Copies of this chain bind each other. A is one copy, B any other.
């Protein structure tokens, strides 16, 4: 006997995870080397050597009772201070340890933010397409996810639709730039307009509306673009960060939340998030990994690795005749389905051993997501499969794209 909510969740389970499993099943059938799995945001470039070295040093230098022991629910004070100082240096912010709460990844972070600010019936706005888990996280607190349409040229939010969707029940808006699944990075002008709408609506309703910045891909920007940090645009910005992508640690579940002093009721929010961290069952972020990431805050993942994949994939897919949104950040490519029903297209792609994720999983049917955080070798071997897929879809090869990037 399972709960009614879980019964529903099982019926509509994660399409990303489903494709990940399908990819593994296909690999068992035809051999792993013949499957081109672009389903999961699982980095194919390893954690920097310094991370494992930091772990060894911590084990050598530190009392095991400290390394593996309880600390405050918000995390080790020295780790939080190090995160605050790193952000201050990079983004001219003014945080200290008390503004930072270490979390069990960004997923844990978003859940403690949601628990702290959402009541049953609260509304959270998300810009389509969005990471499907947002809906589950809102449902954990009986809140409702309200979808805002994109501009289909740029995949920036449609600001008029955004304004029209804000209601007195709106407690928060989630923004995710660099974006999963589109790879789009919002320019400063868009962030300023989002902030202006929020300020106007806060005033109109006399209530706080929090902007939640989900930024696991913060550092993954290309073409010389600068990393952005969103607290400067809007006073009520709450940040959820993960080291999953920036240090290639997705399995370790380590990240943090930032609550700036200028956020309304910031002290109450911080206290609430500590309680949420505890009562949701996280208790605290994994202790050894807290200490390890604190020693690697200046490290960068291998951006060139992803950038090479990005160029190779975008150039070739466009050349084959696919319509793609040019990726500017993260490690996803957002491609229009040549078939009206993108689920049929995903099935067709699987015939060529290509594992893609349907846009419907991101509330945006008609597109597919290609996670190019894969080995270059696999990507190279996958290109002929994409070419055959394009041919079966009767797409016209074009040389135009080769010069786009």
Contacts and interface: CB of A to CB of B under 8 A. Distances in A.
Contacts of A289: 286, 288
Given A9-B279, A111-B281, A275-B9, A42 B69 contact: yes
B68 A3 contact: no
Contact of A73 (B17, B44, B52, B140): B17
B40 A65 contact: no
Nearest to A273: B6
B281 A65 contact: no
Interface in A257-302: 264-265, 268-269, 271-272, 275-276, 278-289
B207 A1 contact: yes
A254 to B, nearest CB: 8
A50 B56 CA distance: 14
Contact of A42 (B5, B70, B104, B254): B70
A117 B285 CA distance: 26
A272 B47 contact: no
B275 A10 contact: yes
Given A2-B265, A251-B70, A275-B6, A140 B56 contact: no
A59 B55 contact: yes
Protomer copies: 2
A115 interface: yes
Contacts of A264: 1
Nearest to A13: B275
A143 to B, nearest CB: 9
A254 B71 CA distance: 15
Contacts of A55: 55, 59, 288
Interface in A91-113: 104-105, 107-111
Nearest to A264: B1
A139 B279 CA distance: 9
A212 interface: no
Nearest to A73: B17
Contact of A117 (B1, B107, B269, B275): B1
A65 B6 CA distance: 31
Contacts of A51: 64, 68
A161 interface: no
A119 interface: yes
B52 A64 contact: yes
A44 to B, nearest CB: 7
A17 B277 CA distance: 13
Contacts of A10: 268, 271-272, 275
Interface of A: 1-6, 9-10, 13-14, 17, 21, 40, 42-44, 46-47, 51-52, 55-56, 59, 63-65, 67-73, 104-105, 107-111, 115-119, 122, 133, 136-137, 139-141, 171, 207-208, 248-254, 264-265, 268-269, 271-272, 275-276, 278-289
26 contacts: A1-B264, A2-B265, A2-B272, A3-B115, A3-B272, A4-B119, A6-B116, A6-B117, A10-B268, A17-B278, A21-B72, A40-B70, A42-B70, A52-B59, A52-B64, A56-B59, A69-B248, A69-B251, A71-B251, A104-B283, A108-B281, A109-B281, A137-B279, A286-B286, A288-B288, A288-B289
